Amino acid sequence: MPPITPQDLTHPVPGLSRRAATNAVALGLGVVAVLCVVDVAGGLVLEQRSAANISGTFALAPALTALSRSWRRTALVGVVSVLVAAALVVLDGVPWGTGAVRALVVLAGAVLSSVVAHVQHRQWAQLQDRRQAARTLQAAMLTRLPRPDHLQLTSRYLPASSGDQVGGDWYDAVVDADGATVLIIGDVVGHDIHAAAAMGQLRGLLRAYAVEGGQSPAQLLTRTDDAIARLGLDVLATAVVARVEQDRDQAGSGRRRLRWSNAGHPPPMLLLPADRTSGGRVERLTGDGDTEVMLGVGLPGARHDHVLDLPVDSTLLLYTDGLVERRDEELDEGLTRLAHAMTRADTAPPPARTPLDGWLDRVLTTSMRGGNQDDVAVLAVRAHREDRPRPAEAGPPLPQPGAPLLQ
């Protein structure tokens, strides 16, 4: 399934197509025709048409048409079924009492099927309203990404191959008060409007804390955990918060530092650039290897930061578990598959390497050839060289109100 944008999510949820509704009516009328043939053929074979009369079975036609969830279409097929059944009763010479009972059976079936179709339509419409509300809420969570100087950010959100296109996956990025770029990826447990609403609350907390500046990723996650407990929020979520930092000494040499903390989420992946002698290499950023608990669990314990130097021309990928988890394989297999996709998507050294947007699309296409069974959110960051102008592919930098010059 192709990536979608916030605009895609705000489009109305499609209902039953006109073609599908027409097919349901055709099915009902086709059943009427087939039963007519069976009735006539049975009379010829048995040479006693009244004994072969099957007019009562015509109630099947409106029952099948009710699958269209349209009481009008169901009623139309029901009227045809009653008229044809009554005609066959007369033509087959069925006794009046028996024929009346059979016709009434068809009439009762048609009325009942129409009522069922109407009830199903109302329930379906209410469900679609809930889906649309959740999709609109989720669309509001898909952030317009900042453009820090010489850092390029791009993102994708892909709904599951089947389902309501509603979930708790989200990404976010802000430039904080210190000028550092804070990256967030998270996944709330659940796949309904409640998960989308909980995701909105959690995203709002993390975003508000992150923009303040002066806090490490572990501190941001700890504050969020405290807020969840104090506010009594019923939410469980995994998340990674990463911070791209650069002090004045590092700015002079074009170096950056990546600091991150992981709350039970799949590890970030870092693609080191290819050179003239070898292709790129992917590192799983697992820190010390210990997995810390999810947000909202409420267990005591300190969260920890992990730090590394972010090489020039490297690409950082944050993602949710739908990208790497499959029901029929271990998580490590999914991580390995993702690492291979990342290296295959960009084999040329700078400056001939694949632009970030094209690279991310290749990674997603390769990683999800069988479709994604869960929602997927991804956030990719490329660290461009600072001794050259910002690449055109990264777009012009957006002004960050109140932020220092250094990121």
Note the pLDDT tens digit of each residue in 79-116. 998 998 888 888 888 888 888 888 888 899 889 988 99
Element (H, E) at 127: helix 96-140
Q: What is the mean pLDDT of residues 187-207?
A: 86
**Model confidence band, residue 190 (pLDDT cutoffs 50, 70, 90):** confident
**Whole-model pTM?**
0.69
Percentage of the chain beyond pLDDT 90 is 34
Mean pLDDT of all residues belonging to the chain = 82
Contact present, 88 and 39 (Cβ < 8 Å): yes
* Residue for token pair 């990264």: 394
Q: Which two tokens stand for residue 22?
A: 């027409």
pLDDT higher than threshold 60 for residue 402: no
Sign of CA dihedral 380, 385, 391, 396: positive
pLDDT higher than threshold 60 for residue 1: no
The torsion angle over the Cα atoms of residues 90, 95, 96 and 99, rounded to 10 degrees, is -70
pLDDT of residue 11: 44
Phi first, then psi: give them for residue 27, nearest 5 degrees.
Answer: -65, -45
**Model confidence band, residue 182 (pLDDT cutoffs 50, 70, 90):** very high
pLDDT higher than threshold 60 for residue 315: yes
State the CB neighbour count (10 A cutoff) for residue 75: 20
pLDDT of residue 371: 66
Q: What is the mean pLDDT of residues 277-295?
A: 81
**Model confidence band, residue 242 (pLDDT cutoffs 50, 70, 90):** very high
User: What's the rounded Cα separation, in Å, for the pair 149 and 385?
Assistant: 10
CA 364 to chain centre: 14
The CA radius of gyration of the chain, in Å to the nearest whole number, is: 30
Longest dimension (CA), the chain: 103
pLDDT higher than threshold 60 for residue 162: no
* Residue for token pair 């950023």: 285
Q: What is the mean pLDDT of residues 36-62?
A: 81
Contact present, 272 and 283 (Cβ < 8 Å): yes
pLDDT of residue 299: 82
Contact present, 323 and 306 (Cβ < 8 Å): no
DSSP string spanning 170-197?
EEEEEE-TTSPEEEEEEEES-SSHHHHH
pLDDT of residue 136: 66
The helix, strand and coil proportions of the chain, stated in percent and rounded to the nearest 5, come to: 45, 15, 35
Of 204, 185, 236, residue with least CA distance to 377: 185
All domains of the chain, ordered by start, with CATH? 18-134 (no CATH), 141-394 (3.60.40.10)
pLDDT of residue 215: 94
Q: Which residues of 343-361 are buried (b: 16+ CB within 10 A; e: fewer)?
A: bebbeebeeebbbbeebbb
User: What's the rounded Cα separation, in Å, for the pair 271 and 7?
Assistant: 30
Q: Cite the DSSP H helix spans in 309-380.
A: 331-344, 356-367
Contact present, 280 and 273 (Cβ < 8 Å): yes
The torsion angle over the Cα atoms of residues 72, 76, 79 and 85, rounded to 10 degrees, is -130
Q: Which residues contact 397 (CB under 8 A, 6 or more apart)?
A: 147, 148, 149, 390
